[in-house]
Chain A
Amino acid sequence: MYRYDQYDASIVETRVEEFRDQVSRRLSGAMSEDQFKPLRLMNGLYLQLHAYMLRVAIPYGTLDSRQMRMLADVARKYDRGYAHFTTRQNLQYNWIELKDAPEILADLATVEMHAIQTSGNCIRNTTSDQFAGAAADEVTDPRPWAELLRQWSTFHPEFTYLPRKFKIAIIASDEDRAAMRLHDIGLQIVRNEAGALGFKVFVGGGMGRTPMIAPLIREFLPAEDYLSYLEACLRVYNRYGRRDNIYKARIKILVHEIGADEYRRQVEEEFLHVKTLGIDPPAAEFDRIAAFFAPPAWEEGLSDDLDLADPEFRLWVEQNVAAHKQPGYAIVTISLKPIGGIPGDASADQMDLMADLAQRHSFDELRVTHAQNIVLPHVKKADLHAIWQALSDAGLATANLDLISDIIACPGLDYCSLANARSIPLAQKIAERFASLDRQRDLGELKLKISGCINACGHHHAGHIGILGVDRKGTENYQLLLGGSGAEDASLGRITGPGFDEDGVVDAIERTVEKYRAVRTPGERFLDTYRRVGFEPFKEAIYG
């Protein structure tokens, strides 16, 4: 894992003291809310329905046990004993008092954490593949490149007031576990025919009000041009992005309106200039960063054998454990989606337990997934049973990864001031309707995603089944979408028709999956069947 150098530490500590002064002036009445709001947002502090909400950055979703323990401590000391993991691989506290915010940031700084780049029209915290460094199919570990992005983008003077927020995801596998093409910039690390490392660059994706899948802008960007090219991408956006209309301000609108070819032409032109500025770091600096992400000291010669005699353990292994690139090791995903629970929430005690398990069994590493789960990336197969038992005792061993109850849900109207409808109670009802693990496994991979408003924090456009909550004359109403995907086969869901009330949408999902069961062929996922038979049979099943 990356460790702060003196510059990182100084930047974060200085920011804490600056914010402490700003909070003090706000509390004294010297500053109005209009004056204070942009300052608090630059430090991740929102005002939600019931209280202030603090969003903490977890760069590319990677953290260690001392950081997870600190997050648990903050939950206990300053919040109400729990926290919420988000679809940006970050963490949110829902019950923060303004007077405590500087102290929380100071506490977080002691473990090299902060809340910078979690709000505002800047380059947000970069996301990545939660299996980075462990996946058998990756070209290289994407995290050194993500860390380079963090260092380049933090307080970048030119990109602090972009037309709108800007999100970047980076992966290094053909299998996309980070919804890469639904980002403002999506990067896939690849090797060309000569074996050189470089990037496929996708620009102009996103969800929200106008969902778009990012078109390919550069087939192969040599690694040595990485930051210069991204700088050029951002410069063109910063110059021509729509600042006059918040709904048209994201880069996806610019790329769509001028066309990918014209955007590419402008970027290439700008790149020729930017490349002369010497932005790209020397190889030695990249190597310094990459050294922090060197593979841990895996034991050699371990067996891949596993005693699966316990049927419940076997189910969990089959569902929540993935192949690791090192023989004898595995990747564990801890589901934060217990049946009837709140997707992405974890108590402070659960966070401590996950930290303990990471320290004992996973080379001190944890990852947060964009699907609001937690990963132990480097676990000996011989330790899996002990980990499963510990997780079971803590209510963290739900064997539902990628099944219908592994639901992404935004906080919705229960917490969020932007929401039009509640997401969490609906997620709970759906999970309870499909609680039978046998039934879930029969349905197979089925990614269900719920957003409580058009901003799409719950990724409803990318759900195999998506749900969008809307306000219909003061009552909650839910639109159903089918056929979305955030994976390498990215697609956008299509609205089925008129919306439903809460119970109605659960019934509609039931009819949808029963239609799938009736027409699927052996081995077909829900999404495969939908793509094969098309929209109409499902619409007919839903509306009759």
Chain B
Amino acid sequence: MKIATGNDLTTGDVVWWDGEGWTRHVEDAVEVGEHGPALIAREEAARRVNVPYIIDAELTDHGPRPAHIKDRIRARGPTVRPDLNRRPIDPATGSWVI
């Protein structure tokens, strides 16, 4: 599947397109399919999100999992600071990222 991501303009937070707006939870990301390029163009013009782009992801039982490790780390936070991660107490975070 194809999903859209970027960084929030104000906070820099990693965000994902959920079909209506930008969410901080990759689990809520939706397939953008053929509408991806138009979405990116529209969002770049809106200037709410820095450098939005489309990535490949795998749809799992727990939602989309980005194909590349860089985007999985973006989704969860630094692997070396689990206390700062989006799911700080989730023991599955490590295997999900790596």
Contact = CB atoms under 8 A, between A and B. Distances in A.
B80 A342 contact: yes
A2 interface: no
Interface string A83-111: 00000000000111111000000000000
Interface string A523-535: 0000000000000
Nearest to B76: A50
Given A50-B74, A80-B84, A476-B69, A422 B79 contact: yes
A474 B9 contact: no
B73 A49 contact: yes
A122 interface: no
A414 B73 contact: yes
Contacts of B13: 50-51
The residue in A27, A50, A342, A419 that gathers the most chain B C-beta atoms within 10 A of its C-beta is A50
B47 A33 contact: yes
Interface size class, chain A: 20 to 34
A49 B70 contact: yes
Interface in A16-73: 26-27, 29, 32-33, 47-52
A412 to B, nearest CB: 9
The B interface, classified by DSSP as helix, strand, loop or mixed, is: loop
A47 B10 CA distance: 11
A413 B69 contact: yes
A424 interface: yes
Contact of A33 (B11, B51, B79): B51
Contacts of A33: 47, 50-51
A500 interface: no
Interface string B48-71: 001100000000000000011110
Contacts of A342: 80-81
Interface in B67-98: 67-70, 73-74, 77-81, 84
Given A33-B51, A47-B7, A50-B12, A428 B73 contact: no
B57 to A, nearest CB: 13
B14 interface: yes
Contact of B47 (A32, A48, A413, A475): A32
Given A33-B50, A475-B69, A98 B74 contact: no
B96 to A, nearest CB: 15
Contact of A49 (B11, B67, B74, B80): B74
A428 B80 contact: yes
Contacts of B84: 80, 95
24 contacts: A27-B10, A32-B47, A33-B47, A33-B51, A47-B12, A48-B12, A49-B14, A49-B73, A50-B12, A96-B12, A97-B12, A98-B9, A98-B12, A342-B81, A413-B69, A414-B78, A414-B79, A415-B78, A419-B70, A424-B80, A474-B67, A474-B68, A475-B69, A476-B69
Interface of A: 26-27, 29, 32-33, 47-52, 80, 94-99, 342, 413-415, 419, 422, 424-425, 428, 474-476
Q: Which 10 A-B pairs have the closest CB atoms?
A: A51-B12, A414-B78, A52-B12, A29-B47, A424-B80, A97-B11, A49-B74, A33-B50, A414-B80, A98-B10
